[in-house]
């Protein structure tokens, strides 16, 4: 069989990532003003990796000995291809749909499977255009059915396939790096080769009210054994030379005992690597920070989201008290671990005053990096369901970049929201230059 995994991107001056934001993707147009403009350009040319689901699909077909190719170019498709797997996001959904239309116009016999966390909310359009849609994490397809030609033809004829969350330990060895160079991340990668990896999936925290990760991976945590994580890191390193890895787990240290064994295995068995993880500050203490440090975790990312308890409570964000946040950030710093905090502005009950205080709080926390984004009601989340009939300002889902206001805010206009976002970046990064 000849298989193509197509991960196509529209032309934009901004970085598009389809892997972040629970696989819905983001487009980093960071707000108005020169600082946000400059940071947008830096992001565009310094950080990229393909969606992990696409990479894992490459590994699954590779393990079966099939001819598989990952590409971002529609021009790599020709009449010899048997099956094409099309990666679908929210930020590029129209572009991906148009690619599907033009491919089927040129190759009407081509069997195209579309996949992606956002797809369940746009699936009819893709089905009507002639694709079969995969609902769920596509890399687990091989655990559900043997990926033979006859079975793929049957699945295609079915039109829609739902994949059950399955066992990460049974995923194929991560041989994708043989086929793909995904080493652009000069910021977190310290200018050396860089790759993504995932050890645990799923997040049980209450912020599923607005967050897309539980939609992509469920609320039950599923972890890969430390042995397989180490094996996959070594394989990716052997195939690509990557020594910097970003863990794509939504909350890296959610299960303490598991995290301790993983960190111990990393510190014993991996030498010369550097890691970035994303976690919840609730899971940080001296013991965890010490173990992170010995496992060569260089960067820890975490969500702060807002400095206002009312704003956080309004969207069921689970956060710890500010004195705890400050203490835990200090713990990370004292272990010489770099910190990257994430904030969401223009939340539903935010005011000029609360956003100002959030920016001041970000400056006060003095993390090494800070990222600000705009509150976005994503299809599939309970918050979206609440407001979808009355408050959305657009149903063009490519506008759901995480950096535009797409709902009627009681206070902010789009222009004001974009200015708040731009100001957040300017004030935060100028404060770092001055102090």
Q: Which residues bind ligand SF4 (CB under 6 A)?
A: 203, 205, 207-208, 211, 213-214, 250-251, 280, 303
Helices 226-240, 256-269: inter-axial angle, 10-degree rounding: 40
Q: Which two tokens stand for residue 346?
A: 């223009």
| Cα gap 311→308, rounded to integer Å | 5
Q: Considering the complex, state which of residue 199 and residue 207 has its C-beta at the smaller distance from ligand SF4.
A: 207
In whole angstroms, the minimum distance from the beta carbon of 82 to ligand SF4 comes to 37
Q: Which is nearer to ligand SF4, 208 or 407 (CB)?
A: 208
What whole-number distance in Å separates Cα of residue 97 and Cα of residue 386? 27
- Residue 417 dihedral angles phi and psi, to the nearest 5°: -65, -45
Q: Which is nearer to ligand SF4, 13 or 204 (CB)?
A: 204
* Closer to ligand SF4 by Cβ: residue 20 or 237: 20
Minimum distance from residue 249 beta carbon to ligand SF4 (Å): 9
Nearer to ligand SF4, 77 or 284 (CB): 284
Could you tell me which residues come within 8 angstroms of residue 367 by beta carbon, excluding any fewer than 6 positions away? Answer: 329, 339, 340, 341
Shortest spacing between CB 25 and ligand SF4, in angstroms: 15
The interaxial angle of helices 322-334 and 352-365, nearest 10 deg, is: 30
Query: In terms of CB distance, is 20 or 296 closer to ligand SF4?
Result: 20
Task: Give min distance, CB of 364 to ligand SF4, in A.
Answer: 22
The 3-class secondary structure across 398-416, one letter per residue, is HHCCCCCCCECCCCCCHHH
- Nearest one of 26, 15, 30 to 418, comparing CA atoms: 30
Residue 80: phi and psi, rounded to 5, are -80, -10
Least distance between ligand SF4 and beta carbon 204 (Å): 8
Task: Compute the least distance from the CB of residue 273 to ligand SF4, in Å.
Answer: 24
**CA–CA gap between residue 94 and residue 209 (Å, rounded):** 26
> Which stretches does DSSP call E strand in 60-193?
67-71, 83-87, 111-115, 132-135, 160-162, 184-185
Shortest gap between Cβ of 247 and ligand SF4 (angstroms)?
13
| Per-state percent for the chain, helix, strand, coil, to nearest 5 | 45, 20, 40
Pick the closer one to ligand SF4 by CB: 189 or 303: 303
């Amino acid at each position: 069989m000849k298989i193509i995994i197509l991960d196509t991107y529209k032309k934009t001056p901004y970085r598009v990532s389809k892997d972040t934001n629970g696989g819905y993707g983001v487009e980093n147009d960071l707000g108005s003003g020169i600082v946000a403009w400059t940071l947008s350009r830096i992001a565009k040319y310094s950080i990229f990796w393909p969606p992990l689901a696409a990479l894992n699909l490459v590994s699954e077909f590779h393990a079966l000995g099939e001819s598989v190719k990952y590409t971002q170019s529609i021009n790599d498709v020709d009449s010899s291809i048997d099956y094409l797997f099309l990666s679908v996001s929210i930020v590029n959904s129209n572009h991906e749909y148009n690619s599907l239309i033009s491919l089927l116009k040129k190759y009407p016999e081509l069997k195209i499977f579309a996949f992606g966390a956002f797809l369940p909310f746009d699936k009819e359009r893709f089905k009507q255009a002639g694709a079969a849609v995969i609902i769920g994490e596509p890399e687990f397809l091989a655990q559900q059915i043997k990926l033979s030609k006859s079975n793929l033809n049957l699945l295609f004829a079915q039109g829609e396939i739902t994949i059950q969350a399955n066992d990460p330990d049974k995923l194929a060895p991560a041989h994708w790096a043989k086929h793909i160079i995904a080493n652009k991340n000069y910021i977190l990668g310290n200018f050396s080769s860089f790759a993504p990896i995932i050890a645990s999936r799923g997040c049980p925290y209450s912020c599923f009210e607005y967050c897309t990760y539980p939609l992509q991976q469920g609320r039950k945590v599923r972890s890969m054994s430390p042995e397989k994580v180490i094996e996959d890191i070594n394989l990716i390193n052997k195939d690509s030379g990557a020594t910097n890895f970003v863990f794509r787990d939504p909350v890296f240290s959610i299960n303490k005992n598991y995290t301790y064994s993983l960190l111990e295995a990393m510190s014993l068995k991996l030498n010369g690597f550097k890691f970035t993880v994303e976690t919840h500050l609730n899971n940080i203490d001296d013991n965890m920070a010490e173990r992170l440090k010995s496992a060569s975790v260089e960067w820890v990312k975490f969500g702060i989201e807002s400095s206002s308890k009312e704003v956080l409570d309004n969207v069921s964000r689970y956060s710890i008290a500010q004195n705890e946040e400050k203490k835990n950030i200090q713990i990370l710093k004292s272990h010489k671990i770099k910190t990257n905090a994430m904030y969401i502005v223009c939340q539903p009950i935010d005011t000029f005053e609360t956003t100002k205080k959030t920016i001041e709080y970000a400056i006060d926390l003095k993390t090494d990096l800070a990222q600000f984004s705009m509150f976005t009601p994503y299809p599939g989340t309970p918050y979206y369901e609440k407001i979808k009939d009355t408050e959305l300002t657009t149903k063009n889902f490519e506008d759901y970049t995480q950096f535009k206001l797409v709902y009627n805010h009681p206070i902010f206009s789009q222009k004001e929201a974009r200015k708040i976002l731009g100001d957040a970046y300017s004030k935060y990064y100028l404060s770092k230059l001055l102090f």
